[in-house]
Structure 1
Amino acid sequence: MSRWASRALEEILRRVRETEDQCAGRWPLYADADSARWTTTGRGSWTGGFWAGLLWLRAIVSGDPHDQAVARGRTEALAPWVEADTATRGMIFWYGTALADAEDLRERAALACLAAHEPELGLVPWGSAFGGPPLLTRVDALPGLVRLLPASVAGRHLALQLDLTISSSGHPAWIAVPGRGWSPHPEPERGWSRTAAWLALAVADHAHMTAAGRTLLPRLRGWSGFAARFTEGAPSVPAASALRRQGPLDTSASAIEAVAALKLAALTGDGRLRDRAVEVLRVLVTDHVRHGRLLDGCYDLAHGVATRHELVWGDFFLALALAMLIGVIDPFAC
């Protein structure tokens, strides 16, 4: 099993070097399936931590001091995001620092996330950095955030999101309505490909950190949306939207799910979850990876942005899952 996984990881890390050269100091977001050219951003956006994390994975595998220096430089360049009003600071700073020697930066980010916590709502709201209503909770705000916040604060936020999503048959985003509780927000829509992936990843990480977090595992595993994605025989790659009869796939969701399944298997000893992760990874590597590029990812279906592309977080989570599978890193190292 490890041979095909090792080869695939080597290919992805070779692609990292190509991306580094092509981006010339900018940050990759998504790349065209045919040309392999990256669309980039100057500051990293909410995906910057995934690129830094990929560079750290390369440095761990290679042991090359140059690779370590490059990764360290990218992690340090994330620092301005500490001041940004966004719950995605969890993603940026957990995945950008977890494999790095960057405790000071991670601590600053953790304090900023805690300062943004709204006790009356019981969460760190989505924030204003990327537009839209700031008093919003979304499943994609959870990963990373649950690793940076104090366990009790993270647990309350996670439990709220889990309850809202499960009780609504999978709606991933909710807006606070003064005096009336929570109302579904239209973006992302119900049926979004990454809903179960992000939730499962966050629950796994929180359950690893605290015994209280393990009480959320039965709630997650009893949800039909979890069963639809994490059981043997389920489609290995989901549609970008389960509500649309025709449309693109989203391999990035599968890559996140593989990481979550490996973490949950490590926590619970459930070999079926590990088998599911291997099943998904084999399909991704065989059918969707070309020259180290995980294709068929969907950046933003609602706005028609990069719907069949290589995505920086897709590459990251695929590389992370493969590294976990072959024992390069511990399942909870990142």
Structure 2
Amino acid sequence: MSAPEWAGPALARVLDRIAVTRAEVGDRFPLFADPKSGRWTTTRRGSWTGGFWAGLLWLRALHSGDASDRRAAAECTARLTDWVDADTAARGLILWYGTALADDAGSLALRERAARACLAAYDHELGLVPWGSAFGGPRLVARVDGAPGMVPLLASVNAKAAESHLRTHLELGAPEWSRGRAWLLLAVADALRCLDVPDLRGAAPELTPSRHVPPATEEHPDGPLDTSAAAITAVALLKLGQRDRATALLEKLVRVHLADSGALLDGCYDLGGGVGARHELVWGDFFLAFGLAVLTELVDAHAA
């Protein structure tokens, strides 16, 4: 199936932005960028978003075929190693998306180590990998952002644990937080691919927003949008085989929210905390780039 005419140029813009970001942040990890200056707020270890920066570098390397891009991606992925033994279900976001597009021996070994470490953290009584204590707060809780990435990571070593982890999160209900619903939809889409759970296909419509680009939270429908939630949803729809809906959503992001610089604007990092409410977000860039890479056949929808 041919790609829309706008998809290739849009992907090139996003991937060019990666080179600019890499020069700015060096060995640090980008979190979110100011919409006017484009300057990134960064972190040394990557926080829960580090895997998306590594994933963006791998997408650039796949697109360019350049050895230096590949080295940069592999080196970034290697810097995620300390997260393997961290007590957090966010290891799914960090270590799945940081390794899924990689093909070097070090990254593949890291992915296997991460999967086994997450399985070791699986709580049989709770039926999930707890959110954990790595970011503070109570340990034995479930958060929807602990589902994406964790499902395919666990599925690679124990299908029953992966299924239970997802079903337990779904039983807790869909949040009013738009990105939370998108995370759950993505986890369902991955489960339908890597687990024998056909009954979960019925959960997808409930988690899919009716608006193209949703507000950050349903409690504030006229508040800031979250383009990252829309980008995550688009990738989930591609995985679910709903290409037309995904393409319409990606086109909306490209035509309305993608800056000439290649930055996906209007993402909401933390509305409640007043942090990065209308900014470029590293995971928003990743999911937009990945969706465009699927449309242009650079990667398969289930590659990450």
Q: Would you say same fold, with TM above 0.5?
A: yes
Q: Pairwise mapping of residues 32-51 of structure 1 onto structure 2 (< 5 A)?
A: 32-51=34-53
Structure 2 counterpart of 1:158, one-letter code = L
Q: Pairwise mapping of residues 138-287 of structure 1 onto structure 2 (< 5 A)?
A: 138-149=143-154, 150-165=158-173, 170-171=174-175, 191-210=176-195, 212-221=196-205, 223=206, 225-226=207-208, 229=209, 234-265=210-241, 273-287=242-256
For the residue of structure 1 that corresponds to 2:197, the secondary structure is: helix
Deviation string, structure 1 residues 164-222 (Cα, Å, up to 9, x no partner):
21xxxx33xxxxxxxxxxxxxxxxxxx21112211111011111012x2222112333x
For the residue of structure 2 that corresponds to 1:236, the secondary structure is: coil
CA distance in 1, matches of 2:75, 2:258: 28
Stretch moving more, 134-143 or 52-61: 134-143
Q: How many residues align?
A: 295
* TM-score, normalisation: structure 2: 0.95
Higher strand share: 1
CA distance in 2, matches of 1:28, 1:219: 33
* TM-score, normalisation: structure 1: 0.86
Structure 2 counterpart of 1:240, one-letter code = A
Find the counterpart in structure 2 of residue 323 from structure 1: 293
Contact 1:203 1:213 in 2 (8 A): no
For the residue of structure 1 that corresponds to 2:199, the secondary structure is: helix
CA distance in 2, matches of 1:22, 1:246: 34
CA distance in 1, matches of 2:222, 2:250: 24
Contact 1:253 1:314 in 2 (8 A): yes
For the residue of structure 2 that corresponds to 1:201, the secondary structure is: helix
CA distance in 2, matches of 1:220, 1:155: 16
**1:302 counterpart (267, 272, 287):** 272
CA distance in 1, matches of 2:86, 2:167: 25
Find the counterpart in structure 2 of residue 28 from structure 1: 30
**1:16 counterpart (8, 15, 18):** 18
Instruction: Give, in angstroms, the shift of residue 9 of structure 1.
Output: 0.4
Find the counterpart in structure 2 of residue 64 from structure 1: 66
Contact 1:151 1:206 in 2 (8 A): no
Judging changes above 3 Å, is the alpha-carbon distance between structure 1 residues 245 and 331 closer, same or farther for their aligned structure 2 residues?
Answer: closer
CA distance in 2, matches of 1:151, 1:164: 20
Structure 1 counterpart of 2:287, one-letter code = F
CA distance in 1, matches of 2:60, 2:221: 39
For the residue of structure 2 that corresponds to 1:99, the secondary structure is: coil
Instruction: Give, in angstroms, the shift of residue 245 of structure 1.
Output: 4.3
Structure 1 counterpart of 2:298, one-letter code = V
Deviation string, structure 1 residues 122-161 (Cα, Å, up to 9, x no partner):
0000000111211111111111100111211010111111
CA distance in 2, matches of 1:92, 1:244: 29
% same residue: 56
CA distance in 2, matches of 1:275, 1:256: 15
For the residue of structure 2 that corresponds to 1:83, the secondary structure is: coil
**Runs of at least 5 residues in structure 1 that lack an aligned partner in the other structure:** 172-190, 266-272
Question: Please, what is the CA RMSD of the aligned residues?
Answer: 1.1
Contact 1:46 1:88 in 2 (8 A): yes
Structure 2 counterpart of 1:218, one-letter code = G
